[in-house]
Structure 1
Amino acid sequence: MSGLKLFNTKGGVTEVTPRLADVEADVQDLIEAHMETMLGVRFLASEYVIDCADGGRIDSLGIDENNAPVIVEFKRGTDAGVIHQGLYYMSWLMAHKDAFRNLVRDRLGAPAASQILWSAPRLICVAGDFTRYDAHAVREHRRSIDLVRYRYFGNEHIGLETVASVTGQSAVTRRTRRRAAALPSARRQGGAMSELAEAVDEVLLGLGDGVTRVQRKQYAAYQRLRNFACVCPPQQTKLLVYLKADPKEVDLIPGFTRDMTGLGHHGTGDLEVQLRTEWNLERAQDLFRLSYAAA
């Protein structure tokens, strides 16, 4: 169980005792109603009945900021079967892509349905708690799995804590890495900007244990539950990083940071950071941490 303690400081200091939901549906209904804010996932369907011999009912279906399919399973308390249940549903999903594609088309339109990231499906398990065996188990599967612990605090607050987060490696990803490894060294490196991109990757992945990277054609997304940074492929003289940090809370510097609110670009986030040198990367690290904390 989490060691987090919450205190009310009005009129002294009083501990707010954490509690579980009265029934599982309370957590599910709340998160489904605010799924994009709480999990970074666009909600598609609830209690989705799957069409197979053994049957089943997926608690929630969604699609994340990178257009990856997402299955969300809820448990009121601790349930050793939640991961296996979710993996069973994920296997069904990958074998019935047309059903999910049609659901996305009906809810979000044809453009979204045509851009589904099938190489990175995700399972998010939301439960009152997990055991150490659960955290170990997710690392043994070649799937992207997030274990999220919830707690209510009083009547007005709910906390979500990522217990474990693992990015699976699809066959496509493994083939891509093998092809990249086979390229001549000079062609792979691509000069100073590629070296800078490698340094950015190391910094972003090092911000916390729960950071995962999802590769899309136009950008690489770094996420906890939600994206906090998107890095575009290196240009000749600069590397563009988009962050979830609020541009209004940042002192914008021409040539280094820019407010992209309402302006189209690849990836997610309204704060653009332009990196040209290692010194720029050093300056940007506080912004990276700010965005990580907001995700």
Structure 2
Amino acid sequence: MADIKLFNINGKVKEYQSGNVTLEKELQTVIENNMETFFGVTFLASEYKTTDGGRMDSIGIDENHCPVIFEYKRSMKENVINQGLFYLNWLLDHKDSFKVLVIEKLGLKEADKIDWTMPRVVCIAGDFTKYDESAIKQMNRNVSLIRYKKFGSDLLMFEHINENVATAIPDTDTQTTKTKSTDKTFDEQLKTADESVKTLYQDLTNYILSLGDDVSETHLKLYAAFKKIRNIVTVVALKKKLILNLPIDVTSVTFEPGFSRDVTNIGHWGCGAVELHLQNAADFEKAKPLIDRAYNEN
């Protein structure tokens, strides 16, 4: 890892000395207490027991309603990636157990929203080897590698160093799907959209992915999500237009009838209270400054 230096430039310049949090409990506690702020994930349980005697370090559910397993690497020799994948496979075989956990913590309404198409593992460590980074590219599972560094006594940095985005898993469990028979999946939405909308989506995809190497695209059940560590843009495809949702402050946006609106108190599929309607290239150009803000502010 290239050494990252952090300085306080208020008055006399002072360098913060970097170090590692005493692994693993201190770091785990900080993350569990602030999981929503750090990663956009609602914390559900610590040391979650599996039926085979294992314990997941932390488990939660993200803003797309997908399960997320957190594993913390104690040493360079520990194969935390394989451990996380083992727990992920267990979870996919025990969906009812996860639903019960969500019901206990968040209620039945939230449990009915669980999306099993993109469950993932987040591995957090002071550093990873080149073999770790190479290994996740060979796996058809969603795995994120997050490097941390502590500066002084009160600054904690996370660096999103690598992510593998796998093909969505078909969700055939009618007991855990929120998709009604009349709702099209995102891929179905895009397939039946007008050619102009398909072209618009491709242009949108190219633009968002060009914002940085830290952006990835995933197709969930009902919408597409572009994300860094957390969502920056979600997209629903209709026959004649694209609907974008952006997680930016609604009070900082001037809304335009027919193009944008505040959906804070209106039900919608995507994530973010700023909703944009894109029907053509002109709408796309108007949307770009807001998309840039979503990238920079999340």
TM-score grouping bracket, smaller chain normalisation: 0.7 to 0.9
Shift of 1:36: 1.0
Shift of 1:136: 1.1
2:130 & 2:158 partners in 1: Cα distance?
Answer: 18
1:98 to 86, 96, 99: 96
The question of whether the paired residues in 2 share the 8 Å contact of 1:189 and 1:195 is answered with no
1:78 & 1:25 partners in 2: Cα distance?
Answer: 17
1:79 & 1:118 partners in 2: Cα distance?
Answer: 31
Q: Which position in structure 2 is the counterpart of 1:264?
A: 267
The question of whether the paired residues in 2 share the 8 Å contact of 1:21 and 1:76 is answered with no
1:276 to 271, 275, 279: 279
Cα distance change on mapping 1:244 and 1:32 into 2, 3 Å: same
2:214 & 2:121 partners in 1: Cα distance?
Answer: 14
1:209 partnered with 2:213: yes
Q: Which position in structure 1 is the counterpart of 2:120?
A: 122
Shift of 1:80: 4.3
How big is each residue's C-alpha offset from its partner over 1:163-220, in whole Å with a ceiling of 9 and x where there is no partner?
A: 10111114539xxxxxx9xx9xxx7562322221222122223322232233233321
Cα distance change on mapping 1:218 and 1:118 into 2, 3 Å: closer
2:28 & 2:77 partners in 1: Cα distance?
Answer: 15
The number of residues matched between the two structures is 282
1:234 to 225, 238, 241: 238
The question of whether the paired residues in 1 share the 8 Å contact of 2:193 and 2:238 is answered with no
The 5 Å alignment of 1:1-295 reads 1-52=1-52, 55-76=53-74, 78-170=76-168, 172=170, 190-236=194-240, 238-295=241-298
Q: TM-score, normalised by structure 1?
A: 0.87
How big is each residue's C-alpha offset from its partner over 1:232-255, in whole Å with a ceiling of 9 and x where there is no partner?
A: 11242x322111122333444444
Letter in 2 for 1:21: V
The question of whether the paired residues in 2 share the 8 Å contact of 1:128 and 1:151 is answered with yes
Choose 252-261 or 124-133, whichever is displaced more. 252-261
Letter in 2 for 1:82: V
The question of whether the paired residues in 1 share the 8 Å contact of 2:242 and 2:278 is answered with yes
The question of whether the paired residues in 1 share the 8 Å contact of 2:193 and 2:237 is answered with no
Q: TM-score, normalised by structure 2?
A: 0.86
Shift of 1:40: 0.9
Consecutive unaligned residues in structure 1, runs of 5 or more = 174-179
The question of whether the paired residues in 1 share the 8 Å contact of 2:233 and 2:245 is answered with yes
Cα distance change on mapping 1:76 and 1:249 into 2, 3 Å: farther
Identical counterparts, % of pairs: 39
